[in-house]
Structure 1
Amino acid sequence: MTTTTEAFRFSEFGAPEVLKCETIALSAPAAGEIQIRQLAIGVNYIDVYHRKGVFAAQLPLPSGLGVEGVGIVTALGDGVGNLNLGDRVAYVGGPPNAYSTHRNLPAVRALPVPDALESETVAALIFKGLTAEYLIHRCVPVAKYDIVLFHAAAGGVGSIATQWLKHLGATVISTVGSPEKADIARANGCDHTIIYTREDFRARIAEITGGKGVHVVYDSVGADTFARSLDCLRPRGTLVSFGEASGPVAPLNLASLGAKGSLFVTRPSIAHYTADRSEYEAAAKNLFRAIEAGIVKAPNLAKYRLGDAVKVHEDMESRSTRGSIILIPSGPSR
């Protein structure tokens, strides 16, 4: 059976205007796939990278967009035995086709959603929450009393991660771009908030830590902060570079890591931390428990209609958004 879906697609890399909404026929799910009616669609900055062609080698055109959402299972492909029609599932990964009313999805990416959780909350948190989960629990497991610097702490991942870090007992230092964002960071539990447009965060880190530096820096900003972030680490500290909102990081002289204190640098990807099904499920359960316990909350949730996807991307790139963003398709939602 063929279903009609409204979906945003693009046939060239570029500005938000390359995104076009199309009405297309969606075939029945293939073996190992499910078909879902979307309830809420998560928006993440990786969508901007995909649209601009940062990962062009991995994304043949034309393409859909979006890698996270929540929906109701409406059809099952051959060989799918762990899901039923009517199940509510969340997902991260698979082919980028989340900006749509209906889609097909590899069943291995579908995660059952606990009944107690609202679809919009899960859509707002699933990608960013799983990103925060692997960053602070598995990439660099943060322990009680560790001192952490988190850049862009008022953003989607930053807001979630800093809430969770505070629960773990870490001392959380954040950088933000404005007093308004500083208020958000403090509300999420940050112990120290630095407005990087007004002061040198390296000097403030030295002051806060008594010159010792931090155990780990989480940096999604990239070009504008990377080199200075290295200067904030204590010996044998780790810089986790997981984004480049301000542009690509310049080539790194490996010898400088030794000179600065035998430092570690990693450039992780959520794809590699959720590729194994059992690890993916365990991470999701950890996140869902944190949401249900109130440890992690969807920060400053902004809702847009699916048809406003171009506007969403304009707002993200102008850095005018706060917290998490979701798209709402037409039709009933939970």
Structure 2
Amino acid sequence: YDNHALGFMEQLQGLQEAVDSLGTRLKEAVDSTLCREEGLRAAMAKLGEELKEYVDASLQRMDRVVAACLQRRDEQWREELKQHEAKSRLSWRPTRSSTPAAPISTGPRPTTDVTLALPPVVPSTPPIRMEFPKFGESRSSADIVDFIEQCENFLTLRPLCDAELMGTLNAVLKGPARSWWLATRSKINTWVQFKKAFLEAFLPSDYQAEIEEQLRAHVQAPQQCLRDFAYDHRALCLKWRPDMGEGEIVHRILSACNPRLASGLRGTVSTVEQLVKVGSLIERDWSNTRDYWSPPSQEVPHAGGKGARISPQNTREPPVAPGDP
């Protein structure tokens, strides 16, 4: 029994030593893992800072390059303008050529020919001065759409390459728009990509419903001419649905304009231009009719000698329809 007890105690002691050794190795492994994780985090943080500094430096360098490029282009335009102005001025360049004089007694008198050399007149075409539109704190849907339209108008007259456009957008966007641009510009390389991302970021999700509501509430005012109303209504229709057909636009204009005018136009016009042309003629006829049946007032003498302006009654009789008494 004692031998068994001693053997069991030895085994228990060996097991205790093995457990202690295993715990020591486990602790060392955990400490080593933690150290490696901390080192990895520190390395990643350092790498992130270096990457951020590199990106910021690259953006600043690109902005300087774009600005220098634009300045060189402006200088080139100014030089070309000066050259055109210099060529457009009329300059007189007399050239004298004398014939050799003959003897006085027998030859003719010396003559002098004067030739006026006129340079060709080159019309000068100075460049159009335009500034790239800016966008800041506005939250209106109309301002957002107007900014995109103004940018497209600018790019139509002054095309920019993608690098110049990206640098220009970095300078014209302010406030929240600039914050959005700094976080998104790495994913955008062209104007089409910018336009799509910008509208998705700033236009409200119910923009189409808002335009539809404006279109539904847009009717012709009593003193508004048909031409102005038709063009405004067509613009709203195309803003709501750019692919809307001409026939549907005409139908919507007739549904929202003066009912009396619409009754005379339905079935006779098929385009907006025809609607405006015929409708304007009808409106002019209405105006002439009112002027015809409303003659100017006349003066009749007073007892005191001064004239008083009164409207004559029944000066003109309107035409009587057949069958009327």
Q: TM-score, normalised by structure 2?
A: 0.20
Q: Which has the higher strand share?
A: 1
Larger radius of gyration: 2
TM-score in terms of structure 1 length = 0.19
